[in-house]
Amino acid sequence: MCLDRRAAPETRASQADGGRYDRPMDPLKEHPLEKDPLEKHPIEEHPIEEHPLGRNHDFRALLSTQGVSSIGDAVSFTALPLLVFALTGSGAAMGVVGALQTLPDLFFGMIAGALADRSNRKKMMFVADSGRAVLTALIPISVWLGGPTLAVILVVAAPMSILRSLFLAGYTAAVPAIVGRSQLARANALFEAVYSTGYIIGPGVAGILSTAIGPGPTLGIDAVSFLLSAFGLVLVRRPLIAPTDRPTRHILVDIREGIEFIVARPTLRSAIAFWGIVSVTTAALVPALTVDVIRDLGLQAWALGLLLTVYGGGTVTGALLISRRRRGSAGPLLLGGNLARGLLLVAIGVVGRLELLLPLGFVAGIADSAVLITYLTLRTAHSPDELLGRIGSTARTISLGLQPVGMLAGGLLIDATNGATTIVAMGAVVAGLSIAFAPIRALRHAQLNPP
């Protein structure tokens, strides 16, 4: 229910070595002489061979597994708000569940990044996806057994968030290691296109199945997708282990190093702050859309699924349009695209008719995808390899860890007014943020290929 579904595509990162305080003894770390079934090569530094992406086996393997996972994510993205709303009828309850899904990022996000910069990234992602498969499966099982489903959702929300932090930390650093920096922008765009394709298929499937069998059993699809994604990681040949020549240090020293690097660089500092505030502002957008479509407009679950499917089509289109853009200025697209996104949200909240919501949702998807890919590419391009995990996780601590504030505020606003009014308010703030950040020269003139 976390609106920032980019929790999944938000490029995932990590690196190697240990995980405790004095002597790294993290359970994710292997002994150099132990054989890891996930590893097909000895533990050593492998130079990145920047093959064309179409001939890069590891890129194709990761792309295909995340494509499968994206369908499950999209099903959950649609079905979970419907399930919570069906159980409670409350926007505030949806806000509470959303807050529980993101609050652990505030406390665990930067630790996950430090672990990623010390450890086996592929193993981190495998463990995280396997755990999420089990936890997600508990929700439909509870529905089938007639158990306390809302209590189960509340119990699994925080552990799911911790595992997501581990996965994202490993993924963010793994992508540059697999594709090379010269092809990073194109790889990000293709990942987003594939992920967004899942959001063309998933919401429609979720809407139809939620209407036919209920949203609870529909969530079983997401559990299966996590399992398939976990086993798909075995197909990745590159070890994806962080540099082993780093000195053993207290984990808090590593976390502080990542924060200090961001603070000292105006481009990173302003881009992360910008995206973080935007993400918090729109945190409750899916609950607001759910209430607007189901209660305010009196439509059925299939209508929400259709709207999110069309939005997914827009994000695919935006990703393909920007996939060839590897260099140049990021500021105009970041700020201008976000301004357009805010204005489109205002329009979505105002029109109140499904036939008008669909084209607006499609264009909003294009703008959203262009802004996201530009942000991810800009952030990675300005981050050194040895800090990728920590910088990515520090950024997510802001964009995801503070989302409970947006979730709770949005839920209260939904109950005090309605879904449409909440969407309009979000759009107005998002558009205003683009105007507020425009005078920041470091962001306005940020380059995708820094010298």
- 299-330 pLDDT, tens digit each: 887 888 888 888 878 888 887 887 666 567 88
Q: Using pLDDT thresholds of 50, 70 and 90, give the confidence band for residue 242.
A: low
The predicted structure's pLDDT at residue 438? 94
**pLDDT tops 70 at residue 48:** no
The whole-angstrom separation of Cα 446 and Cα 436 is 16
Extract the tokens encoding 431: 């558009």
Average pLDDT over residues 163-187: 79
Determine phi and psi for 8, rounding to 5 degrees. -90, -50
**pLDDT tops 70 at residue 449:** yes
The predicted structure's pLDDT at residue 274? 95
The predicted structure's pLDDT at residue 67? 82
What type of residue is 385?
D
Q: Please, what is the average pLDDT of the chain?
A: 79
Helix (H) or strand (E) holding 430: helix 419-437
What is the model's pTM? 0.66
The whole-angstrom separation of Cα 35 and Cα 248 is 23
The whole-angstrom separation of Cα 343 and Cα 348 is 9
Helix (H) or strand (E) holding 141: helix 121-145
The predicted structure's pLDDT at residue 141? 93
Q: Using pLDDT thresholds of 50, 70 and 90, give the confidence band for residue 36.
A: very low
Determine phi and psi for 133, rounding to 5 degrees. -60, -45
Residue given tokens 């920032």 in the structure block = 4
Average pLDDT over residues 12-23: 28
The whole-angstrom separation of Cα 241 and Cα 413 is 45
Closest CA to 126 of 217, 240, 19: 240
More confident residue, 117 or 28: 117
The whole-angstrom separation of Cα 250 and Cα 23 is 8
The predicted structure's pLDDT at residue 62? 84
Instruction: Enumerate the H helices of 49-90 as residue ranges.
Output: 57-88
CA distances from residue 125 to 94, 159, 171, 232 in whole angstroms, order as listed: 28, 15, 7, 11
Determine phi and psi for 128, rounding to 5 degrees. -65, -45
The predicted structure's pLDDT at residue 25? 30
**pLDDT tops 60 at residue 43:** no
Average pLDDT over residues 8-30: 31
The predicted structure's pLDDT at residue 42? 37
Least confident of 238-242, 388-392, 395-399: 238-242
**pLDDT tops 90 at residue 421:** yes
